[in-house]
């Protein structure tokens, strides 16, 4: 079996390339038959990689002169372009040197450079940014998370198909259940785009997913559905609001545990339970947003994640390739 080739932009995000290289080390220990094409400043990368135990036959370093910064606008990033680690790692998909790409860099730039270099899947008008979001029974796929501020019925129907193809390629034994994010569960509520999409999905026969109607924000994490479709504005606000709420509660909880001796004792006794709790909510464990609609997989790691988080975005890459995401989308788009 040929190895899976992952293109890695080593220069994007906080503490790069350190966290990227350490992420590769974690991922390569757990997963066999993966080859990493690592793009970036070869001096920095080699210094870090020497401190790890990554076997030298598992990677190639491709030196790049430049890199895109978080402060670059998408336009200035595209102009910097062809000498950067981001551009060249995406180009290696175009040249069939790599099967997927991961970057922890500038999201807007990644988006624009991917669109400039890669083709859209036939009949898809707009790409969408999707991510994993935990629920009581496992994981949701939620999209769009900010790629498209305004969406048509056609876009939302495409997102349903792409989102369930992604769900199927990550969780092959589960049934994909699609719902539209709305402000009520009754058919009457919502704007006309959402109502029209409801009608189309309700009548559409397909083998990829079950359509479950509308879902409200307070039920996203219930686990009754697992693919949640919305426009990029609403999805972005919802995801970030959930993140802010989780941060607020966990920081209040930390204060609770730290502000008395009994609190500390109690925290100590409960350490195993609390570890389990933290693990369930650890955002590193579902790091890796996927840009859907292009004919190659483009994965965005959170810029501020660490090596464990980056390793998880590599895992997402690998699963997507093994699960034949792009073929699944192509087969189902009508």
Q: Is the CB of 202 or the CB of 256 nearer to its own copies?
A: 256
Q: Is the CB of 54 or the CB of 145 nearer to its own copies?
A: 145
Q: Determine the Cα–Cα distance for residues 220 and 212; give it in Å rounded to an integer.
A: 13
Out of 174, 187, 222, 327, the only residue in the binding site for its own copies (CB under 8 A) is 222
Q: What is the CA radius of gyration of the chain?
A: 21
Q: How far is CA 273 from CA 141, 192, 270, 278, in A?
A: 27, 46, 5, 9
Least Cβ distance, residue 260 to its own copies (angstroms):
6
Least Cβ distance, residue 309 to its own copies (angstroms):
17
Q: Determine the Cα–Cα distance for residues 181 and 163; give it in Å rounded to an integer.
A: 14
SS (H, E, C) 62-97: EECCECCCCCCCHHHHHHHHHHEHHHHHHHHHHCCC
| Binding residues for its own copies restricted to 104-143, rule: CB under 8 A | 134-136
Under the criterion CB under 8 A, does residue 217 sit at the interface with its own copies?
yes
Are the C-beta atoms of residues 286 and 132 closer than 8 Å to each other? yes
Q: Determine the Cα–Cα distance for residues 180 and 212; give it in Å rounded to an integer.
A: 8
Q: Is the CB of 27 or the CB of 302 nearer to its own copies?
A: 302
Out of 83, 123, 183, 331, the only residue in the binding site for its own copies (CB under 8 A) is 183
Retrieve residue 4's tokens.
Answer: 């899976």
| Binding residues for its own copies restricted to 227-286, rule: CB under 8 A | 230, 232-234, 236-250, 252-253, 255-257, 259-260, 262-263, 265-267, 269-270, 272-274, 276-277, 280-281
Q: Determine the Cα–Cα distance for residues 57 and 132; give it in Å rounded to an integer.
A: 32
Q: Is the CB of 57 or the CB of 218 nearer to its own copies?
A: 218
Least Cβ distance, residue 270 to its own copies (angstroms):
4
Q: Is the CB of 43 or the CB of 259 nearer to its own copies?
A: 259
Q: Determine the Cα–Cα distance for residues 158 and 143; give it in Å rounded to an integer.
A: 11
Least Cβ distance, residue 141 to its own copies (angstroms):
16
CA nearest 137: which of 245, 209, 208, 219? Answer: 219
Retrieve residue 152's tokens.
Answer: 């048509």
DSSP E strands in 191-272: the ranges are 209-215, 227-229
Q: Determine the Cα–Cα distance for residues 330 and 123; give it in Å rounded to an integer.
A: 9
Q: How far is CA 170 from CA 126, 127, 240, in A?
A: 22, 19, 23
Question: How many chain residues bind its own copies (CB under 8 A)?
Answer: 57
Expressed in angstroms, the distance from the first to the final Cα of the chain is 32
Out of 24, 113, 220, 329, the only residue in the binding site for its own copies (CB under 8 A) is 220
Q: Is the CB of 262 or the CB of 334 nearer to its own copies?
A: 262
Least Cβ distance, residue 218 to its own copies (angstroms):
4
Out of 200, 221, 285, 308, the only residue in the binding site for its own copies (CB under 8 A) is 221
Under the criterion CB under 8 A, does residue 146 sit at the interface with its own copies?
yes
Residues that bind its own copies (CB under 8 A): 134-136, 146, 149-150, 181, 183, 190-191, 216-222, 230, 232-234, 236-250, 252-253, 255-257, 259-260, 262-263, 265-267, 269-270, 272-274, 276-277, 280-281
């Amino acid at each position: 079996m040929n190895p899976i080739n992952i293109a890695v932009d080593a220069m994007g995000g906080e503490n790069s390339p350190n966290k990227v290289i350490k992420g590769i080390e974690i991922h390569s220990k757990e997963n066999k038959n993966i080859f990493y094409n690592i793009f970036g400043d070869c001096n920095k990368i080699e210094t870090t990689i020497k401190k790890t135990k990554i076997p030298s036959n598992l990677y190639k370093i491709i030196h790049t002169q430049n890199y895109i910064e978080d402060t670059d606008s998408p336009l200035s990033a595209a102009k910097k372009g062809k000498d950067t680690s981001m551009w060249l790692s995406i180009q290696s998909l175009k040249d069939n040197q790599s099967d997927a790409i991961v970057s922890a860099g500038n999201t807007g730039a990644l988006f624009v450079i991917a669109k400039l270099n890669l083709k859209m899947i036939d009949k898809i008008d707009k790409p969408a940014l999707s991510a994993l979001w935990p629920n009581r029974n496992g994981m949701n796929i939620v999209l769009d998370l900010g790629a498209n501020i305004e969406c048509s019925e056609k876009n939302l129907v495409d997102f349903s198909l792409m989102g369930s193809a992604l769900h199927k390629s990550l969780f092959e034994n589960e049934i994909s259940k699609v719902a539209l994010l709305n402000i009520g569960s009754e058919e009457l509520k919502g704007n006309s785009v959402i109502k029209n999409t409801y009608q189309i999905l309700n009548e559409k026969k397909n083998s990829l997913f079950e359509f479950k109607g509308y879902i409200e924000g307070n039920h996203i994490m219930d686990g009754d559905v697992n693919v949640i479709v919305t426009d990029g504005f609403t999805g972005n606000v919802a995801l970030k609001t959930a993140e802010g709420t989780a941060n607020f509660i966990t920081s209040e909880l930390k204060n609770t545990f730290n502000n008395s001796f009994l609190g500390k004792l109690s925290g100590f006794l409960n350490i195993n339970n609390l570890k389990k709790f933290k693990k369930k909510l650890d955002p590193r464990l579902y790091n890796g947003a996927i840009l859907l609609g292009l004919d190659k997989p483009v994965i965005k790691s959170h810029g501020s994640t660490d090596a464990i988080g980056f390793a998880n975005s590599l895992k997402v890459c690998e699963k997507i390739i093994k699960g034949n995401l792009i073929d699944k989308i192509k087969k189902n788009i009508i």
